[in-house]
Amino acid sequence: MLDPEDIRRDFPILSRLVNNRRIVYFDNAASTQKPMQVIRAMQEFYEKHYANVHRGLHTLSQEASKMYEEAHEVLAKFINAYSWREVILVSNTTEAINTVAYGWGLWNIREGDEIIITIMDHHSNMLPWRLIAQLKRAKVKYIDIANDGYLRYDQLEEAISERTRLVAFPIASNVLGTINDAKRIARLAHKVGAVVVADGAQSVPHMPTNVRELEVDFLAFSGHKMLGPTGSGVLWGREDVLEEMKPFKVGGDTIIDVTLDTVVWHELPWRFEAGTPNIAEGIGLAEAAKYLMRVGMENIREHEMELVRYTLKRFEELGDEIEYYGPRNPGDKTGVIAFNVKGLNHHTVGAALDMFGIAVRSGMHCAHPLHRRLGLDGTVRASYYLYNTFEEVDYFIEALEKILHLKKNLLRPATSTTCTGT
């Protein structure tokens, strides 16, 4: 098991005060905090090795290129890719998915084809496919969830046909936390020759990822959600599929040679990393991956699961005042808990928690269709990571108790008062 107290020492921001209280950071599904190791790695790169990559024979450029290439190797190891050539560094999950949509989808999806996505997808894994479908006159089919927040695999089995060209889904929902069975989805899709795109934004930072076992063709994830810097992310793809994919963005560093009539594209992964990349961010992300591997992804998964188990148990003490969504079994979900306090708007609860120094997100979390499906106009989302503690959960429950107490008093019907003034 990991020791969150030990880990917290690496995160300077976690000792800062917010509203005069020690911050409780429960907004990890949106973005995570950064350990000193990541901050220092980036600082050291800028202080000692900075230059552009793949463009100079001088020492600094050689050093920067080596460090940037090594970052690909570390990330390949982190997800157990066959080769670092399968790892494309991008800015975030959104860019990774758009790279597939415009590099693969635009060139391979045809009129009458079908694209299958799920109602629990984040807009980043929904809107690119909808635009491609519009451009190519293809059809988008949505797979629903059951009322308990699990994906409707029965519906997926019915929806998949010879017309299915692509299946996209989240490995874990950013609202419900539901962990989907990637292998089962990939096998169904591959039976009809469809390409499979997995959104790993909410799974890769929180559980072991082995792309050899997932059986998907593409996997997208963001660096800033796994202790890395903003402007970093990964698109992993199976080498044979990547070899067939067209570059989405083209320009410097994507080619070996260009004449006025021809172009010879660069080898993988450079073909897909157009222009000067986010070099320091890539190096920072690799440092984050090393940090996570040192702690152990199994340990992180276990820790978050126990935090969820404990929170749901403590929610019971608050009676039916708290409504939460998604699977009840902590083993089937990530460390994400979306909930509402009955009778209070989600933003009111979010703002009230901030007064206690607790950072959560409130709103629809870029998953409007999912919220509509649940009949909600928003939720409050607490999302955990390796540095969160059981004491923080206790404090969170205490804050909710106080909010409930205030609600009871504020919403009490007005009683008549006697006016004693003149």
Report which DSSP code applies to 247.
P
Contact 402, 319 (CB under 8 A): no
Query: Is 98 a binder of ligand PLP (CB under 6 A)?
Result: no
Query: Is 94 a binder of ligand PLP (CB under 6 A)?
Result: yes
Looking at the Cβ atoms of 339 and 400, the one nearer to ligand PLP is 339
Query: Whose structure tokens read 């997926």?
Result: 156
Q: Which two tokens stand for residue 66?
A: 């080596």
Contact 71, 286 (CB under 8 A): yes
CA distances from 327 to 21, 125, 147, 149, 335 (A): 32, 22, 9, 6, 12
Contact 133, 144 (CB under 8 A): no
Rounded Cα gap, residues 149 and 397, in angstroms:
24
Looking at the Cβ atoms of 128 and 269, the one nearer to ligand PLP is 128
Q: Which of 28, 65, 93, 254 binds ligand PLP (CB under 6 A)?
A: 93
Looking at the Cβ atoms of 182 and 404, the one nearer to ligand PLP is 182
Nearest approach, Cβ of residue 338 and ligand PLP (Å): 12
Residues in contact with 18: Cβ distance below 8 Å, sequence separation at least 6, in sequence order:
354, 357, 359
Looking at the Cβ atoms of 32 and 155, the one nearer to ligand PLP is 32
Looking at the Cβ atoms of 201 and 349, the one nearer to ligand PLP is 201
Q: Provide the β-strand partners of residue 222.
A: 233
Burial of 51 (0-12, 13-18, 19+ CB in 10 A): middle
Nearest approach, Cβ of residue 197 and ligand PLP (Å): 11
Q: Which of 122, 206, 290, 301 binds ligand PLP (CB under 6 A)?
A: 122
Rounded Cα gap, residues 132 and 107, in angstroms:
10
Span interacting with ligand PLP, options 119-127, 271-279, 286-294, 304-312, rule CB under 6 A = 119-127
Q: Which two tokens stand for residue 8?
A: 């917290």
Looking at the Cβ atoms of 349 and 364, the one nearer to ligand PLP is 364
Report the 10 Å Cβ neighbour count for 347.
12
Contact 96, 103 (CB under 8 A): no
Report the 10 Å Cβ neighbour count for 342.
11
Span interacting with ligand PLP, options 92-100, 181-189, 260-268, 311-319, rule CB under 6 A = 92-100
Nearest approach, Cβ of residue 94 and ligand PLP (Å): 3
Q: Which residue type, as a one-letter code, is found at position 339?
A: F
Strands (E) located in 259-369: 263-265, 322-325, 336-341, 358-359, 361-363
Query: Is 125 a binder of ligand PLP (CB under 6 A)?
Result: yes
Please report, as residue ranges, which positions from 221 to 280 form the binding site for ligand PLP (by CB under 6 A).
222
Please report, as residue ranges, which positions from 158 to 217 form the binding site for ligand PLP (by CB under 6 A).
170, 174, 199, 201-202
From the candidates 192, 250, 318, 366, give the one annotated as an active-site residue.
366
Looking at the Cβ atoms of 92 and 340, the one nearer to ligand PLP is 92
Span interacting with ligand PLP, options 87-95, 160-168, 239-247, 346-354, rule CB under 6 A = 87-95
Please report, as residue ranges, which positions from 329 to 368 form the binding site for ligand PLP (by CB under 6 A).
366
Known catalytic residue: 419?
A: no
Rounded Cα gap, residues 229 and 91, in angstroms:
10
Q: Which of 32, 65, 92, 155 binds ligand PLP (CB under 6 A)?
A: 92
Site size for ligand PLP (CB under 6 A) = 14
Chain residues that interact with ligand PLP, rule: CB under 6 A: 29, 92-94, 122, 124-125, 170, 174, 199, 201-202, 222, 366
- Which residues carry out catalysis? 366
